[in-house]
Amino acid sequence: MEDAFVSVNNLSKTYVSKGETLNILCGTSFEVSEGELICLLGTSGSGKTTTLNILAGIDRPTSGEIFYNGQNINEWTLDYLYDYRLKEIGFIFQEFHLLEHLTSLENILVPLLLNDWEEDDARERSFNLLKQVGLVNKAMNLPNELSSGEKQRVCVARAIANSPSLLIADEPTGTLDSKTGDDIMKLLVGISKKSKMTMIYTTHDPYLTKIASRILVIQKGMIFESNVKNLEDVDYDNIIFEKNNKGEIL
Amino acid sequence: MKDVKRFNPPKKEIALHKKFFNILSFNLNLIFKNIRNRKRSTVIIILGLTFSLSILYTASIWSLTSQKIIADDYVESLDYEMYIESWQDDIEIYNEMYDFTALDSLVEQVDWIFPAIALFNYEDKNDTYEWYPEDNQEDMDNPLSLSNGFVITNRAMNRISLNLEIEGNSSMQSGEILISYTQAKQLEEIYNEEITPGYKINLAISRRIPNTDRGETQFQDFEIEDTTFENYTVAGIYKFVGHNTIIDRLVGGGATESAGTIFDSIFFPADVLTPYDFYRMTNSGGIFPRLLVKTNAQQLREQGISNMPDNLLALRDRIQVSYYHAYCYVLDHALAEMTNEYARAFGSTNLFVPTIATAVFLTFFSTQITIKKRREEISFLRSKGAASSQIIGIFFGEFFIISFISLILGIGVGILLSALIPSFGQNQLFNRSLFIQYFQEIEISPYDIEILTILILGSYLGLTLLNVIIYVRKDIQETMLVTQKGQWILELSVKILAFVLTVAGFLFFLLLEYRKLAENSLNYGLSLISASYRALYLFIAVLFFSCYFLSLGVNFILRNMKTIYNRIFKKTGFFIQKNMLRIRKSFTELTFFTVLIVCLLTTIIIVRSTSIHNNNIEDDYRQGADLRIQSTIPVNITKFENQIQSIEGVQNALGFYSIKASVRLYDIEVFGIDPLKFLQIGRWIEPSLVGMSAETALTQLANNPLGVIMSKFLVERFRKNIGDPITIQDIRGGTYEPLILSAIINSAPGLGVSHGYDPKMNRQVTEWVLVNKEIIRGLGINNGTLFLAATEENADIEYISEEIKKINPFAVINPEKINPDYIGFFIREHIPPANNILLVGAIFVNIIGIVYIFISTDFILEQRRKENAVLLALGGKQSKVRKSIVNEILSFITTSFAIGIPVGFLASMVTLTFIKPLLITREVVPMTIHINALILIVMIISLFAASLIGIIPIIRKQMKYEIVHELRAIV
């Protein structure tokens, strides 16, 4: 467990809504090694986003442990957690969450300035990142002047601005058409490989699993390891996983 | 074709009225639910509306009630309002006039008064005894003593005694008289015995005053015949303490006049005199009787307090038209003074207008914010198929109910406050009986209530409805950017046009109307007071517009201070500048309101401190010197001056010789002074004299024994120049030889303004001149009542006062009120002074400002929950985000304050050009701006600090939201 880059033990998350208890995650465990490209596959409401939020330190689990580089992030103070989110994690939201009053360049500037960069240096780096995602000509455009694909590119650039070790993408293609989705995925994989970043992304689209080095399937709050490499043609909604005695899917 | 039998479900018939009630009950349920769900904003709106309405209702109810109470109380405090005399010496004509006057609906009572001359120590004088001049008569070791004598009914005596301080009994029985303190002292010297109530005295009555110009200076010229009375008992000894009184005008004298006769009179009881005695006293030919007229206060104020002088003058006209030979002296001056003072006192409540205006704006902005917050609800209702009219109807219903609740509360609070505020009166202590009196006599004008309700609630509901309509329409046409831009330009153009028109209107009114009135007014009378508050209304509108346009400028500055933000706030500078750029509309409102509040607060505080400072300087100037000594009885001036000067700590003392006279048609008071002493003792100011210094004028007067110093008005009226001769007439002892005009004067320390009436001074005439004291001494006048003295530095004023009191127990030293009968003091018992109103206004403005900043900041930060969640998700530290928000608010508050304070300073300078009539009776000392730095700093810092401290919980609340929850909410 100590060797794993990210290790999740017995993770559970419960919400109480209108007096009703909802178990989103039910004591699940998995591990991620450094440099891996993990796909977390699951239907809507299966707990994908909750898992990523907990991994990114945005949300806290009800119980369980998350080890990042051998350290239990649940035991960290808030300040540690902020630093973790800022420096170690790059988060790409499905709904972009770009700041509407800032231009593309300025949106990328935000995490750098939060990380105490000098503004001039930060601008230069942001510009380079925009170049990297192919959006130099849209540097001064506001989010409402960008297409969904362009917005997601800005999100990618913003996520990698502080060179995180772990890139987390929550359904990065969820709101995009398949062509644009493919482009974004290619961009993400390219960046993660080039920067040797570990990446975890979620999707409900089996087609997007093929680029992952490993697939984790999430169902009813439980995460299972899948040995199936290509789930493209599988009707995964009706799949029945068989588990071995270690809990792994056969 | 085969017939197809269609299934038609039976329609459920609903009666029209049922349908109507169903819709009504559904909408009402929705409206009440909405009100319940927005408790905080509902409470704020109700509070704002209730506050605005109740202050206006209070002003109306309080105004009506207090004018009734003040008028009744004041009229009751006057002895009479009129006396009537005729040059026809026929008692039948007097009887006719009596009946005519008594039957007038305005009149409550008419009393007779028969004037005569009383002579004491006449017994051993023969007919050729030389009595004139009185203070240098034939036998000064055993002199004759003269006094006014009045035969008067006990009913009239009861009214006159309102102005007398009586030792003994004022109600006289047969064989009793009431004598003055001065007369008692003179008789003590003559008879060498103490005169106390119960003393037996002999006197003679003359109904003829000998004419000294014709050489009638002997005892026989009184034509006393057999009208002598022996063994009369002194029932009481009185001192005259009145001011606004008919008896004072009838008899003459009082206050500063050295030769005043009211000080020196006696009264006989008409009711208990034997017919023979009554005949002997009143019917020996010579002085005509007078009729004293007391009016009915309720009738007098029938058409409002401002009509009282006119009503009185109308009564005079009715009498004079019916009796061409009648002369009516009317105390209209006192009533006019009362109406002026009342108007001033009430006019000063207009100083609340800025506070009410800000409260209305606060309410309106709160409503706007509520509507903005409910844009999603509008969209939802529309998506469910609600028509625009239905949505508008629901909103209208909500705000109508809120307005109705505010109306009920406003009326209740208004009634309560209009009884409560005056019951705190001048000494700020609760007076239960005044509270009950106000409550019992409360006067409500339904017309006023209606107008004020329409003004506040009508405009509020209208603007709110307009806002809802705009939002409902925006929902449909959100993407029509071109239209929005066009609308923005149109809106701005309309605002600029309105601003230009308001400024033009204000300047037109100020420079033409107000200035013309001010230049032609001696005192700040009714017309100028009402012009003053009209100017105030216009200026408040100008100020609102100015602050709006300034806030646009402030926002421009705030948006373009990137370098400064980076330098001051380092890493958070970027976020601050970007936030300033984006929240343009909300920010314009916030900066507008903050600039306005700071500006108003500064203006109110500066106007208040200037008013207080000016009042203090004026009071010092009116007092005249380190010591002002007013003797309630005339004393020998030279002797008293020497006695005062001999007291340790006193440098110099000056007595004023005075006498009444006239310059052509103008009644004047001639003050005789030692010019060099006056120069040394008096607190002279720069504009005391016209075109020369006090030193030059008084040195010239000292060197020229026939010099006279006069008001600019008289000099201009008679087209005189310095060095020209000018004659003073009707002075006792005959016509003067011409005096030489040596200087022109505006005012003098201790005497006040030389032309015009200063109600705070205890003078009756509106004009005075200064001459060398030797001129008046030459007329045989050696006594006076007014003295000024200069003391050494660090002199013990208390000790000096005690010593003066030992010399003259009737001396009042440095009186708190030079004229205790000043009607302003009376009115102030019912209406707080302008300074208190300004202070309360400032506190309210402060509170309103703080509440608005809270509401607005809360709203703006609420809009930013998404951004804050994203920033935190990206790794932004809570402390950093919080710091960024605090710095941002700090920037806008500091900038708004930095703009608002100087604008407030400028506004106060403009305000002080037209607001003087609401603050002072007339400008004796030129009003110069004065800033009470302490109060200004305290108010500004409290607003600043309260805004910042109050925002912390709002920011903390924003930070407490869970990131995940916020991010999910955005989806």
Choose the mutation target among A101, A106, A162 for the interface with B, i.e. most B CBs under 10 Å: A101
**Which of A242-246, B154-158, B756-760: highest mean pLDDT?**
B154-158
Residues of A in contact with B578 (CB under 8 A): 101-102, 106
Highest mean pLDDT among B425-429, B472-476, B941-945: B941-945
CB spacing of A158 vs B970 below 8 angstroms: no
Residue A239 has pLDDT above 50, yes or no: no
Mark yes or no for CB contact A53/B971 under 8 Å. Answer: no
Size of interface A-B (CB pairs under 8 A): 68
Q: What's the pLDDT at B395? A: 81
Q: Which of A101-115, B268-282, B310-324 has the lowest average pLDDT?
A: B268-282
| A:188-227 residues touching chain B, CB 8 A cutoff | none
Separation of first and last alpha carbons in chain B: 56
Contacts of A157 (CB under 8 A, 6+ apart): A108, A126, A129, A130, A132, A133, A135
Burial group, residue B706, by CB count within 10 angstroms (0-12, 13-18, 19+): middle
pLDDT exceeds 90 at position B409: yes
> Can you give the pLDDT at residue B697?
94
How does DSSP classify residue B513? I
pLDDT for residue B99 is more than 90: yes
Residue B194: per-residue pLDDT: 92
Residue type, B763: R
Asked if B475 and B381 count as a contact pair (C-beta separation under 8 A), the reply is no
Looking at the predicted structure, is the pLDDT value of residue B12 above 70? no
For residue B834, give Cα distances in angstroms to A166, B351, B430, B511, B831.
70, 8, 19, 25, 9
Predicted pLDDT at B149: 86
Q: Do B874 and A102 touch (CB under 8 A)?
A: no
Whether B263 shows a pLDDT value over 80: the answer reads no
Yes or no: say if B559 and B576 are a contact pair by the CB < 8 Å rule. no
A59, A89, A95: residue with CB nearest B970: A95
A102-111, A227-236, B913-922: segment of lowest average pLDDT: A227-236
Cβ contacts of A56 on chain B, cutoff 8 Å: 873
Mean pLDDT of A75-85: 86
Question: What is the average per-residue pLDDT within B294-300?
Answer: 91
pLDDT reading at B645 higher than 90: yes
Domains of chain A: 6-238 (3.40.50.300)
Mean pLDDT of the residues in chain A: 81
**Separation of alpha carbons B821 and B826, rounded Å:** 8
Q: How many Å lie between the alpha carbon of B342 and the closest alpha carbon of chain A?
A: 58
Cβ separation B873–A97 shorter than 8 A: yes
Beta strands at B739-745 and B707-711: parallel, antiparallel or unpaired: parallel
Q: Which residue has the tokens 């007919």?
A: B127
What pLDDT score does B264 carry? Answer: 75
Average confidence (pLDDT) over A162-179: 84
Which of A231-240, B106-115, B231-240 comes out lowest in average pLDDT? A231-240
pLDDT at B259 exceeding the cut of 50:
no
pLDDT at B909: 92
pLDDT of residue B97: 95
Tell me: pLDDT of B480 over 70: no
Higher-confidence position of B445 and B285: B445
pLDDT for B110 beyond 60 = yes
The pLDDT of residue B639 is 93
Pick the residue with more confidence: B430 or B327?
Answer: B327
For residue B858, what are the CA distances in angstroms to B579, B773, B855, B958? 15, 74, 5, 9
Please, which pLDDT band fits residue A73 given cuts at 50, 70 and 90? confident
pLDDT band at B676 (very low <50, low <70, confident <90, very high): very high
Partners of residue B875 in chain A, C-beta under 8 Å? 82-87, 89, 111, 114-115, 162
Measured CA to CA in angstroms, residue A204 lies from A39, A49, A217, B822 at distances of 10, 11, 10, 91
Q: Which residue of A59, A86, A106 is in closest CB contact with B578?
A: A106
Residues of B with CB under 8 A from a CB of A: 566, 571, 574-575, 578-579, 581-582, 866-867, 870-878, 880, 962-964, 967, 970-971
Instruction: Tell me the pLDDT tens digit for each residue of B844-874.
Output: 888 888 888 887 788 777 777 888 888 888 8
> If pLDDT is split at 50, 70 and 90, which confidence band does A240 have?
very low
For residue B945, give every residue at least 6 positions away whose Cβ sits within 8 Å of its Cβ, in sequence order, or none.
none
Query: B970 and A97: CB-CB below 8 Å?
Result: yes
Residue B443 pLDDT exceeds 90: no
In angstroms, rounded to a whole number, what is the distance separating the alpha carbons of residues A56 and A97? Answer: 16
Confidence band (pLDDT; 50, 70, 90) for B789? very high
Residue-wise pLDDT for B710-737, tens only, equals 998 889 888 889 999 988 876 665 556 6
- Please give the average per-residue pLDDT across B28-47, as a whole number: 80
pLDDT tier at B583, thresholds 50, 70, 90: low
Inter-chain contact B575–A78, Cβ cutoff 8 Å? no
Query: Dihedrals φ, ψ of B853, to 5°?
Result: -60, -40
pLDDT of B29: 81
Q: How confident is the model at residue B481 (pLDDT cuts 50, 70, 90)?
A: very low
Which residue in chain A is spatially nearest to B875 when comparing CA positions?
Answer: A86
Which helix (H) or strand (E) segment holds residue B327: the answer is strand B326-330
Q: Determine the residue of chain B that is closest to A102 in CA distance.
A: B578
What was the pLDDT predicted at A245?
Answer: 46
User: Mean pLDDT, to the nearest integer, of B941-949?
Assistant: 83
The pLDDT value given to residue B146? 84
Mean pLDDT of chain B: 82
* pLDDT number for residue B656: 93
- The mean pLDDT of B769-782, rounded to a whole number, is 86
- Looking at residue B624, its pLDDT comes to 92
Q: What is the pLDDT of residues B269-279, one digit of tens each?
A: 888 888 888 88
Distances (CA, A) of B244 to B150, B251, B330, B756, B828: 20, 13, 11, 17, 17
Note whether A137 contacts B: Cβ–Cβ < 8 A. Answer: no
Q: Which residues of A touch B961 (CB under 8 A)?
A: none
DSSP B218: B
Report the candidate in B337, B334, B304, B331 with the shortest Cα–Cα distance to residue B315.
B331
Query: Where are chain B's structural domains?
Result: 19-76+344-478, 79-330, 539-622+827-971, 627-794
Residue B350, pLDDT score: 75
**Any B CB within 8 A of A145 CB:** no
A85:B873 CB<8 A: yes
Which H or E run contains B460?
A: helix B459-476
**pLDDT number for residue B942:** 86
B877/A82 CB distance under 8 A: yes
Selecting from A95, A111, A116 the residue whose C-beta is nearest the C-beta of B874 gives A111
Q: What is the token pair recorded at B944?
A: 């600043």
Q: Which of these ranges, A138-147, B259-268, B341-350, B934-943, has the smallest mean pLDDT?
A: B259-268
Interchain contact A179–B (C-beta under 8 A): no
Work out the average pLDDT over B609-614. Answer: 91
DSSP collapsed to 3 states, B889-956: HHHHHHHHHHHHHHHHHHHHHHHHHHCHHHHCCCCCCCCCCCCCHHHHHHHHHHHHHHHHHHHHHHHH
Nearest Cα residue in chain B from A110: B871
Rounded distance, CA B201 to CA B190, Å?
12
* pLDDT at residue number B735: 59
Distance from CA of A83 to the nearest CA of B (A): 6
Does the CB of A82 have a partner CB in chain B at under 8 Å?
A: yes
The pLDDT value given to residue A246: 47
Lowest mean pLDDT among A102-106, B200-204, B574-578, B773-777: B574-578
Residue A234, pLDDT > 70, answer: no
Higher-confidence residue of A144 and A78: namely: A144
Nearest-Cα distance to chain B for A231, in Å, is 29
Position B40 scores a pLDDT of: 75
What span, in angstroms and rounded, lies between the C-alpha atoms of A29 and B31?
Answer: 51
List the end-to-end C-alpha distance of chain A, in Å, as a whole number.
Answer: 22
Per-residue pLDDT, B736: 63
List the strands of the sheet with B739-745, edge to edge. Answer: B657-663, B666-673, B768-772, B707-711, B739-745, B725-726
Q: What's at A15, amino acid-wise?
A: Y
Whether A132 has a pLDDT exceeding 80, the answer reads yes
Chain B nearest CA to A101, separation (Å): 6
User: Is A99 an interface residue toward B (CB < 8 Å)?
Assistant: yes
Mean pLDDT within B922-931? 86
Chain B within 8 Å of A58 (Cβ-Cβ)? yes
Among B572, B577, B867, B874, pick the best mutation site for testing chain A contact (most A Cβ within 10 A).
B874
Closest by Cβ to B867, choosing from A99, A113, A115: A99
Which two tokens mark B883?
């710091």
Write the pLDDT tens digit of every residue in B240-255.
Answer: 777 677 887 776 544 4
Please give the pLDDT value at position B573: 80
pLDDT at A241: 41
Element (H or E) spanning B725, and its range?
A: strand B725-726
A162 contacts in chain B (CB < 8 Å): 875
Chain B residue numbers with beta carbons less than 8 Å from the beta carbon of A113 are 571, 574-575
B961 pLDDT more than 80: no
Interchain pair B582, A101: CB under 8 A: yes
Q: Tens of pLDDT along B202-235?
A: 988 887 778 776 778 888 888 776 667 888 899 9
Provide the pLDDT for residue A209.
Answer: 78
**Which tokens in the block code for residue B825?**
């003091």
Asked whether the predicted pLDDT for residue B764 surpasses 80, the reply is no
Residue B887 has what pLDDT? Answer: 83
For residues B452 and B465, what is the distance between their CA atoms, to the nearest angstrom? 19
Please state, for a pLDDT cut of 90, what percent of chain B lies above it: 19
Taking the CA of residue B585 and the nearest CA in chain A, the distance in Å comes to 14
Does A109 contact chain B (CB < 8 Å)?
yes
Is the model's pLDDT at A243 over the cut of 80?
no
- Fill in the amino acid letter for A219: Q
Confidence at B475, pLDDT banded by 50, 70, 90:
low
| pLDDT tier for residue B474 given thresholds of 50, 70 and 90 | low
Of the candidates B574, B575, B873, the beta carbon closest to that of A58 is on B873
Q: Does the beta carbon of A78 lie under 8 angstroms from any beta carbon of chain B?
A: yes
- Alpha carbons B21 and B15: distance in angstroms, whole number: 10
Q: Is the pLDDT of residue A207 over 70?
A: yes
Nearest chain B Cα distance for residue A169, angstroms = 13
Cβ A86–B874 below 8 Å, yes or no? yes
* CA-based nearest residue in chain A for residue B872: A82
Contact across the interface for A110 and B871, Cβ inside 8 Å: yes
| Euclidean distance between CA atoms A9 and B639, whole angstroms | 111
Q: Are A83 and B875 an interchain contact pair (Cβ–Cβ within 8 Å)?
A: yes
Confidence (pLDDT) at B282: 77
CB contact under 8 A, A58 and B967: yes
The C-alpha atoms of residue B936 and residue A233 are separated, in whole angstroms, by 78
Average pLDDT of the residues in B278-287 = 72
Say if residues B633 and B181 touch (Cβ distance below 8 Å): yes
Locate tokens 């100015």: which residue? B546
